[in-house]
Chains A and B, each alone.
Chain A
Amino acid sequence: MTRFLSLLVRAWVFAVFAAIFLPLCLIFVISFSGDAYLSFPPTSWSTRWYAEVLSNGGFMQGLRNSAIIAVIVAFLSLALGLPAAYALVRMEFPGRRTIQTLILMPLVLPSMMLGLGILMVFTPAGLVATFPGLVLAHLVMTLPFSVRILQTSLANLGTDVEQAAMTLGATPVQTFAQITLPRLVPGIVASSAIAAIMSFDEIVLSLFLVGPRLTTLPVAIYRYVEDRTDPMVAVLAVLLIVVSLAMVLLIERTVGFTKAFGK
């Protein structure tokens, strides 16, 4: 009986994995299609769609913009999120609980609504279709995550080790720089990676804010798919997956995934 159950559980796990990964495999296969249309299985094989994507000025420009924005957003998420997380975890001030709740609000709101609101504020400010505008909009999405992840990492560290440092003669600044920060590295890597991936994949807010002079890769893909469906889409999907996978591998190699995100 237990044997049968364990077999069933294994089959179930396998089915879930298949449901997640089969579409990815399909896309991977199609990206090497030589056909002019999306079809499975492809009737001919080639890497011509890869060449097509790499020589497409619109996509390459979008990729460059998205990468730049992702890096800046990741950096700012950390620079703004870390002090906020520190204050929320380690300091006592009136309204702390309220702010802890409010800071997660953007995650609850439909991004459609957020996008509309942001557009209405950014238009008079002249931020639409600019790098600062897109960065600010993405920060609205990434900051709650960064603050949350850093809050958890900080809370998990406890205060004993920091208190020990202080009794040993370290000023609050020395304690933070030499004791807290080094122990926070997994959280910092995790929150920055999450912010970068979120920004890189962001589409709803970006749709409101891009213009003819400035667009991101997801928006460029979205626009392209509206008109046509050819294996180029599969190639783009593969590229996006590779970028995300690279980030995950980076985390795994530097600090370990479970350590970065907790268990």
Chain B
Amino acid sequence: MTPAPFIRCDGIAKSFGTTRVIDNLALDIFKGEFVSLLGPSGSGKTTLLTMIAGFERPTEGGIWLDGYRIDDLAPHKRNMGMVFQNYALFPHMTVAQNVGFPLRMRRMGRADAQARVARALEMVELGAMADRRPSQLSGGQQQRVALARALVFEPRVVLMDEPLGALDKRLREQMQLDIRDLHRRLGLTIVFVTHDQSEALTMSDRIAVFNKGRIEQIDTPAAVYDRPATRFVAEFVGETNMLSGRVADTGPDGTAVDLAGGLRIRVRQPLEPGRAVSVCLRPERLHLGGAGVNVMDCRVTDRVYMGDHLRVALDGAAGPIIARLPRSADTIREGEAVTASFAPEDCWVLAA
């Protein structure tokens, strides 16, 4: 038996005036889970987060926390920690006062509160900064203060609204690992909004991919990446080659698909013959040489050195294709004729 969801969103719709930003959305989040809401801006992911936090009310549907409906519960009664993109620290308070704020609101005794604040600051490695003002800290330090403040009162859920969006790349990657580590160590339930697919892939237990107010797919990072439910998911999460074609015939050892460029390829999924399909092929699944089942002759039209790999544009019977090749293919030159291949199980077929 699966456990009851910790956060349950059911039949949620949200309209601002006549604009419907979320439509008939359902999402279950389990205790201790790290769920990312991933999507382009305006896809409704932040709106859902603000409804879980209590700043907005759903127009239709309901939200349950641990079995209790919380639609009408004011934000300050929800016991959820929230981390904002711009940190949202209290500029007129010191770091320690910021972190102690939720404890003061809960009328915790002085000695207790001080010990907890010290521990929380230790946890984010800012013990020495307790008496500074937020304006005296770097962006990364400010976000760690915000994190400590959102965790110090042991909230039931931690909501994060693009918390790393304002940080530079290296710091962002460090913080991703830090947050993941905190999530595991403390057993937190985290709802994490981001538009950065690689961030969602690295950090999450499950990813909910948002598009135009709906969830297109909710699954583990590997499933979202390898078996995208829709074309949108395939193209939004990671890079992909989309090859359009038609199913020729299907049998026990796979399916044959005729691509628009004339090439016949084999895939694993059983499909109804005659159907128009899109074959989704990740760039790193392509190999040089004719050893695979699906082989095609191509010409190299572009070659970009990326440090740890080569990004190569190919043109052949399957149409223009991007391949991500290992550095061992360094000798490849623009204009060169090559043979590329890919395995049937590395193709994922979607309805066109």
Binding site for B on A (CB under 8 A): 158, 160-161, 163-172, 174-175, 179, 182-183
Contact for B105 among A160, A170, A182, CB less than 8 A = A170
Give A48 to B79 CA distance when docked, in angstroms.
Answer: 71
Q: Which residue of B lies closest to A179 (CB)?
A: B90
Pick the contact of B75: A161, A167, A179 (CB < 8 A).
A167
Query: Once the chains bind, are B149 and A168 in contact (CB under 8 Å)?
Result: yes
Q: Contact at A160–B84, with CB atoms within 8 Å?
A: yes
Known interface pairs A163-B82, A168-B149; A174-B89 also in contact (CB < 8 Å): no
Most buried by A among B75, B82, B150, B153: B75
With A167-B75, A167-B76, A170-B76 in contact, do A161 and B149 touch (Cβ < 8 Å)?
A: no
Q: List 5 A-B contacts (CB under 8 A).
A: A163-B55, A164-B89, A169-B102, A171-B74, A183-B91
Contacts of A172 in B (CB 8 A): 74, 76
Give the chain B neighbours of A179 by CB distance below 8 A: 90
Extra contacts, 9 of them, besides A161-B91, A168-B101, A168-B105 (Cβ < 8 A), are A160-B88, A161-B90, A163-B84, A166-B76, A167-B54, A167-B80, A168-B81, A168-B102, A170-B105
- CA of A90 to CA of B75, assembled, Å: 16
List residues of B whose CB falls within 8 A of some A CB. 53-55, 74-76, 78-82, 84, 86, 88-92, 101-102, 105-106, 146, 149-150, 153, 159
Taking CB atoms, residues of chain A closer than 8 Å to B153 are 168-169
Q: B81 touches which one: A158, A167, A170, A183 (CB < 8 A)? A: A167
Nearest chain B CB to A172 CB, angstrom units? 8
Give chain B residues whose Cβ lies under 8 Å from the Cβ of A171. 74, 76
How far is it, in angstroms, between the C-alpha of A164 and the C-alpha of B86 when the chains are bound?
Answer: 11
Which residues of chain B have C-beta atoms less than 8 A from A175's C-beta?
Answer: 76
Closest B residue by C-beta to A169: B105
A168 to B117, CA, bound (A): 14
Give A260 Cβ to nearest chain B Cβ, in Å. 16
* Contact among B53, B80, B92 for A182, CB-based, below 8 A: B92
